[in-house]
Amino acid sequence: NLNFHPAGRHFLQIPGPSPVPDRLLRAMSYPTIDHRGPEFGALGLQVLAGIQRIFKTKHPVVIYPASGTGAWEAALANTLSPGDSVLMYETGHFATLWNKLATRLGLKPEFLGLPGIEGWRHGVQAPMIEERLKADRNHTIKAVCVVHNETSTGVTSDIAAVRRAIDAAKHPALLLVDTISGLACADYRHDEWGVDVTVSGSQKGLMLPPGISFNALSPKAIEASQSAKLPKAFWAWDEMLEMNRTGYFPYTPNTNLLYALAEAIEMIEAEGLEKVFTRHNRLAEACRRAVNAWGLEIQCADPAVYSPVLTGVVMPEGVDADNVRRIIYRCFNMSLGAGLGKVKGRMFRIGHLGECNDLALMATLSGCEMGLNMAGVKLRASGTAAAMVYLQSTAEPADRPH
């Protein structure tokens, strides 16, 4: 019955798109204005300056009317030439897709990583990158590409360590980083970490619907783009940077998503970017305590790189994670992330990003716990109880009138 609509709101607890706050939906509902008209430039300048603060950069950020995949392509197409060697690192499914995209563009990606499934349970091993770059005496490798928050596994790699590895090898390769699901959830510092291109998207920590994505640039990346030979037109930075100086775009931007972006930046800055990170870390800790209490395994095997964005929950042998998700979807109106690629059916992913708060997380964990029980998974203890104990013992009253 296509008309059937379950009561209450749907719990969209996948690791992006994350639920869009009402405030952003309202901002998006304003009439679309002339993108060449007199009012538009002020909006353009406002969002371009605001998004620089979120990336922690003083350099330009390009905004594309595209999903994250477009921004992935843009980062490569603007900085590299056909046949260039690039060093990529396999943290999971998204690193694998970026690698595939690089091959399709005519690049020669080399895929580093720990063997088998281990690579999908740990962060980027910076010493492996350092060793490989040191061996590349002729500097044939033109870029190092890593995923900051690997959305398929729930692992957040140490980007500063990757920067140090490139510097220790005294290698001139560009550093390209995907923080599509990390931005505005996990600490990220484009300038301080010496990243040349950071790729991100709208539908995760920024809480927007899918549809816009970003390239944050460095002066070195802009210089590389002037001699890079991969074909580019829609993705080309030059006209974009020129037009952006006055807040305009070379082609029709996604005006209504830019309204939402302005509103999202205002919300994030009103809470405080650092407090947004603290909130994500605390919710992630509560979620992990629930998983530990259940007696289930977390996909990320290294506590130093646990993701504040999502938690991957590994099923015991013989349990189909997709069946657990199906039960939860049908009975409790909640969507959880599927296991992707190498971990399909082995795990599911709980998203706790964006506007998520204590009670949204508790509802999410309740749905998981009931669904796991219904699927016949033997749980050691109540995860929801463990999460509540942690949340109540770390709760802080909001700074507002009472």
Do residues 143 and 133 lie in contact, with contact meaning Cβ atoms separated by under 8 Å?
no
Straight-line distance from the first to the last Cα atom of the chain, in angstroms, rounded to the nearest whole number: 45
Number of H helices, E strands in the chain: 13, 14
Report, in Å, the least distance between residue 198 CB and ligand PLP: 12
319 part of the interface to ligand PLP, by CB under 6 A:
no
Determine the residue type at 294. W
89 part of the interface to ligand PLP, by CB under 6 A:
no
151 part of the interface to ligand PLP, by CB under 6 A:
yes
Using CB under 6 A, which of the segments 175-183, 258-266, 340-348, 363-371 binds ligand PLP? 175-183
Report, in Å, the least distance between residue 344 CB and ligand PLP: 15
Whether the ω angle into residue 17 lies within 30 degrees of 0, i.e. cis, is yes
DSSP run (H or E) holding 350: strand 347-351
Among 11, 64, 94, 120, binds ligand PLP (CB under 6 A): 94
Q: Decide whether 210 or 247 has the Cβ nearer to ligand PLP.
A: 210
> 82 Cβ partners below 8 Å, 6+ apart?
106, 107, 229, 230
Among 80, 147, 177, 368, binds ligand PLP (CB under 6 A): 147
Binding-residue pattern over the window 95 to 124 for ligand PLP, x denoting contact by CB under 6 A: ------------------------------
> 341 Cβ partners below 8 Å, 6+ apart?
92, 93, 96, 152
Q: What residues numbered 198-257 form the site for ligand PLP, per CB under 6 A? A: 201, 210
Do residues 344 and 370 lie in contact, with contact meaning Cβ atoms separated by under 8 Å?
no
Rounded Cα distance between 145 and 7, Å, is 44
CB atoms under 10 Å from CB of 61, counted, come to 22
CA-based nearest residue to 179, from 208, 202, 161, 207: 202
Do residues 88 and 145 lie in contact, with contact meaning Cβ atoms separated by under 8 Å?
yes
Using CB under 6 A, which of the segments 178-186, 266-274, 322-330, 388-396 binds ligand PLP? 178-186
68 part of the interface to ligand PLP, by CB under 6 A:
yes
DSSP run (H or E) holding 213: strand 213-217
Report, in Å, the least distance between residue 212 CB and ligand PLP: 10
Among 27, 126, 180, 186, binds ligand PLP (CB under 6 A): 180
- Residue that the structure tokens 């490989």 belong to: 132
Do residues 180 and 200 lie in contact, with contact meaning Cβ atoms separated by under 8 Å?
yes
CA-based nearest residue to 145, from 105, 98, 100: 98
How many residues bind ligand PLP (CB under 6 A)? The answer is 12
Q: Decide whether 136 or 277 has the Cβ nearer to ligand PLP.
A: 277
> 167 Cβ partners below 8 Å, 6+ apart?
194
Report, in Å, the least distance between residue 112 CB and ligand PLP: 17
Rounded Cα distance between 373 and 237, Å, is 52
Using CB under 6 A, which of the segments 67-75, 167-175, 347-355, 377-385 binds ligand PLP? 67-75
178 part of the interface to ligand PLP, by CB under 6 A:
yes
Is 349 annotated to bind a ligand? Reply is yes
Using CB under 6 A, which of the segments 49-57, 63-71, 131-139, 188-196 binds ligand PLP? 63-71
16 part of the interface to ligand PLP, by CB under 6 A:
yes
Q: Decide whether 13 or 151 has the Cβ nearer to ligand PLP.
A: 151
Measured over all CA atoms, what is the biggest interatomic distance in the chain, rounded to whole angstroms?
Answer: 65
Report, in Å, the least distance between residue 213 CB and ligand PLP: 6
**221-78-56 Cα angle (round to 5):** 45
Report, in Å, the least distance between residue 302 CB and ligand PLP: 18
Q: Decide whether 96 or 384 has the Cβ nearer to ligand PLP.
A: 96
Q: Decide whether 28 or 147 has the Cβ nearer to ligand PLP.
A: 147
Q: Decide whether 181 or 256 has the Cβ nearer to ligand PLP.
A: 181
Distances (CA, A) of 314 to 26, 122, 216, 292, 336: 38, 15, 34, 11, 13
354 part of the interface to ligand PLP, by CB under 6 A:
no
Q: Which residues bind ligand PLP (CB under 6 A)?
A: 16, 67-69, 94, 147, 151, 178, 180-181, 201, 210
Known binding positions: 349
Known binding positions for substrate: 349
